[in-house]
A and B are shown apart, each in its own frame.
Chain A
Amino acid sequence: MNTVPAWLPRPAVAALRLLLVLTALTGLCYPAAVWAVSRLPPLRAAAEGSPTVTDDGTVVGSALLGVDPVDPLAAEPTADRYFHTRPAGNAATPLGPGGPDGSGATPYSITAPELVSLVEERRRLVADREGVPVEEVPADAVTASASGLDPHVSPEYATLQVPRVARTNGLPEARVHELVAQHTRGRRLGFLGEPTVNVPLLNLAVQLAADQGGRRGGHDEVGGR
């Protein structure tokens, strides 16, 4: 047997060739195979980003992206029509909406005075907007998410926003509570994660209810394009 294999003087060439072969295999064939699976009808809508679609078929966002509709601090906060998501830690304003172009969190440590005063400021702003005492504002309303795009809020924060949303959309509070309940999900399998309310889907449902003058009825909220 030849003790010095022929490739030994050229391991770099072998490495380069292996890299190119693997590029075809793992950089081309593999993602193509996963993509093909994602085209299966039950997976397709999620693979395309779980778009939120209005009644007339227009895509208005994603059920997974908590991009706040309108500035969370409108000129007249109490006239604001929407449920709001959690603040974004990398935004310019305290309640500022996150941008899908730059997901991320606050740069501050948990004991930073800047962060403490930011949390206090958010508490005051949310309390003013909802017209409630500051003690009633839940923790998730005053803390920024890790992505800045968290589509969920706690059931407590959603409930806090119900009176304002009902009033500004001309809907009975009971109807809005009902919509919140429809978009609330408990822990997965009973023990995974936390109970959450999906805000993008909830806003869509509220708008539909308002447009229909409170008429009841089911409709497609998530679908393919």
Chain B
Amino acid sequence: MNPATAGLLQIALLLVALALSYRPLGSYLARVYDSPVHNRAERVVYRICGVDPEAQQRWTGYATGVLCLFGVSAFLLYALQRAQGVLPGGQGRPAVPPDTAFTTAIGYATNTDWQSQPPEVTTGNTLLLAGLTVQNFLSAAVGVAVAVALVRGLARERTDRIGNVWVDVTRGVVRVFLPLAFLGAVVLLVGGVVMSFAGPVVVTALDGAQHRVPLAPVAAIESVKLLGSNGGGLYGANSAHPFENPSALTNLVQVYLMLLVPVALLRTFGVMVGDHRQSRPLVSVVAVVAAAVLCLVWAVESRVPRGAAQVAGAALEGRESRFGVFGSALFAVAATGTSTGAENAAHNTFGGLAVAGLLVNMVLGEIAPGGVGNGLHALLVVALLAVFLASLMVGRTPEYLGKKIGRVELSAVSVAVLTMPLLVLTGTAAALALPTTRDALAEDGPAGVTAVLYTYASAANNNGGAFGGLDVGGGYVQVTVGLVMAFGRFLPALAVLRLAGAFAEQGRSPVTAGTLPTTGPLFGALLAGVAVLVAALTFLPALALGPLAGALG
């Protein structure tokens, strides 16, 4: 079988698997967040937390809860890292240095999972499980909660209440991510993923040399790392490490786990607003963008890009033998499109245009299909913008699902759309202007610009994927990456919750002949056009200086 056929079969299998889970999981998620019933375990949680699960919150109360969860999470995670040296189960690892601990704490609490140090050396089991894994669940559940609040705002009428953040987050963990992560972990175990508390074991190899076998509780963490769009692995090589991703089979499972919840949430949206057809344009935009990026990356890689790949004869530098060129391209597109940021190959070794494709996948605002929750609310924000622009063009009142897009709503949309480009571009420009950054780069010129741009795009979009070539040690880049992650997550989230509140308060305008239909292919095209336009207008100059110049130079 030639590689192209094998690749197409992999895509086909992935699409079938996603299609099979789309309806049941999407509807299940809608039931989870719409259900008035609390199960016994959840009641215990609410009692311990001292919250009233029946109380509905305004957007401000909901936002306060989201911010408080982030605050306590980041603070405790920082403390846990700084105390690693004296904690039980630290496996002799010392305390994490303050600047790294700061960025890692924010990284995990914002669902980014930024790691600038090889975890196999710095992170003991206690920190791994009680710190990082907990955030992998919590930050994912918070992401979905924010999106669900926006959907409720669109679904409800004449109320200022958009849900209860404690209930939504608890259900997200208990009813969604825990069961899915357990199933995913069992599948990964069957696929040969490591799950051991024996710690690093020293063995004497055949030739008499000694080396460590870095055993760790991988399967449990790997599963939620992918399902929750987290991306923080157990090893520096992330999903390229054979202990995390031992075969081509687990590789496809990992791609599926990344896409599972974000894709199903598109259906959840349609169910919760009471009209399945509203999901269609969102699904088609996700499919078209993801397919376009995958085609670009695959075409560049399979044709053997210039430079080292051509000298070697194939694009295998920075790839694992068992995945090959296609398995690496597919994983990279899924990981950048879902804000997971996991890697089974070194993205810096991709051809210039392929890197541009991965960057575009991120700077579109993570909409193809985006992270858990983040992807859905980013898509809905673009939909609102598309409705607004289309209505301006034909002189209609801008309405989406019968909700008017007025001054307050459009201001919130603007904040949600513009925060990320602002953070990425100013972050990149400021970092490049510093001589210390240039010293930390492996290469000057376009490759250097690409490395810095990728770093800040990854941080602001809460992707977390690192790009080889920029040595993020301590100091300026480390700390600004932390700040960019926090603002990149919570400014749009606050804007989205503001939108939710504003929409919930409105009544619903009746559908008339003058209403812009938001279910057909025309709206899908408009949505994709607006997403591409916004990204192109803001990022084309930066992309031209980095990966595009690299591809042409």
Contacts and interface: CB of A to CB of B under 8 A. Distances in A.
Contacts of A123: 311-312
Given A10-B50, A70-B207, A111-B307, A145 B320 contact: yes
B69 A196 contact: no
Interface string A191-207: 11110100000011001
Given A65-B242, A143-B317, A100 B307 contact: no
B213 A110 contact: no
A38 interface: yes
Nearest to B251: A193
A162 interface: no
B92 interface: no
A94 to B, nearest CB: 13
B547 to A, nearest CB: 9
A69 B173 contact: no
Given A27-B129, A38-B219, A69-B205, A110 B55 contact: no
B247 to A, nearest CB: 6
A5 interface: yes
**Most A C-beta atoms less than 10 A away, residue of B220, B349, B350:** B349
A133 to B, nearest CB: 14
Nearest to B221: A31
Contact of B322 (A69, A193, A203): A193
A149 B241 contact: yes
B130 A64 contact: no
Contact of B137 (A26, A35, A43): A26
Given A34-B182, A47-B196, A16 B134 contact: no
Given A30-B181, A106-B317, A149-B241, A67 B468 contact: no
Interface stretch (B16-24, B187-195, B282-290): B187-195
A18 B118 CA distance: 30
A67 B242 contact: no
A65 B213 contact: yes
B324 A193 contact: yes
Nearest to B346: A105
A38 B195 contact: yes
A82 B62 CA distance: 62
B6 A192 contact: yes
Contacts of B45: 18, 21
Nearest to B136: A26
A196 B450 CA distance: 33
B189 A64 contact: no
A37 interface: yes
Nearest to B327: A193
Interface string A144-175: 11111111111000000000000000000000
B409 to A, nearest CB: 25
Contacts of B535: none
B120 A61 contact: no
Contacts of A16: 72
Interface residues of B, number: 122
Contacts of A28: 129-130
Contacts, number: 373
B88 to A, nearest CB: 13
B54 to A, nearest CB: 8
Given A5-B52, A19-B138, A108-B469, A47 B206 contact: no
Contacts of B137: 22, 26, 30
Given A46-B193, A103-B237, A109-B447, A187 B52 contact: no
Contacts of B327: 192-194
B166 to A, nearest CB: 6
A12 interface: yes
Interface residues on A, range: 35 or more
A120 interface: yes
A109 B546 CA distance: 12
A51 B213 contact: yes
B69 A192 contact: no
A142 B243 CA distance: 23
Contacts of A31: 129, 133, 217, 220-221
Nearest to A74: B207
Given A34-B185, A60-B203, A25 B173 contact: yes
B246 A146 contact: no
A150 B206 contact: no
A19 B68 CA distance: 10
Contacts of B10: 191-192
**Most A C-beta atoms less than 10 A away, residue of B178, B246, B319:** B319
Interface string B18-45: 0000000000000000000000000001
A14 B65 contact: yes
B172 to A, nearest CB: 10
A110 B72 contact: no
Contacts of B313: 138-139
Interface in B445-500: 447, 450, 468-469, 471
Nearest to B301: A110
Contacts of B247: 188, 192-193
Contacts of B133: 26-27, 30-31
B396 interface: no
Contact of A12 (B72, B236, B311): B72
A58 B201 CA distance: 13
A120 B309 CA distance: 11
Nearest to B468: A107
B252 interface: yes
Contacts of B344: 146
B68 A14 contact: yes
A73 interface: no
B72 A15 contact: yes
Given A5-B55, A60-B205, A100-B214, 13 more contacts: A14-B68, A26-B137, A47-B196, A48-B194, A105-B346, A107-B468, A107-B469, A108-B442, A145-B240, A146-B319, A150-B320, A191-B1, A191-B10
7 contacts: A14-B49, A26-B224, A30-B181, A30-B220, A48-B215, A100-B213, A101-B121
